[in-house]
Amino acid sequence: METVYKTFTTREEARTAMQLFAADLAETGQLRVSATVARDVLWTYHAPELYQLLVLGRDWSAARYGDFITHALTHPLTGALLEHRE
């Protein structure tokens, strides 16, 4: 799976990208939800407003935000539990 970083100009572009990402994840056999549910969860957490609220609005570091997103996505999508770090 090739990693591609892109800035999306519309929420629809982001949703389409998350649909492709979810399909790739589904191919690994590790999702515990459907690719459609995974797409919706990924799309929601990809929203720039979340970054703005926590990093810009609440002074979270980028690392803390990254950890939050990682944990917020990993368990619901795969069932895996990760150790939290502060």
Instruction: For tokens 């100009």, name the residue.
Output: 9
The CA radius of gyration of the chain, in Å to the nearest whole number, is: 13
Arithmetic mean of pLDDT over the chain: 86
Of the candidates 59, 80, 58, 63, the one whose C-alpha atom is nearest the C-alpha of residue 71 is 80
pLDDT on residue 23: 96
Q: Are 77 and 71 in contact (CB under 8 A)?
A: no
Mean pLDDT of 56-81: 91
pLDDT in tens, 26-68: 999 999 999 999 999 999 998 889 999 999 999 999 999 999 9
pLDDT on residue 1: 44
Per-residue DSSP letters for 49-81? HHHIIIIITT---HHHHHHHHHHHHHHHHH---
Look at the pTM and tell me if it is higher than 0.85: no
CA–CA dist 25, 33 (Å, integer): 11
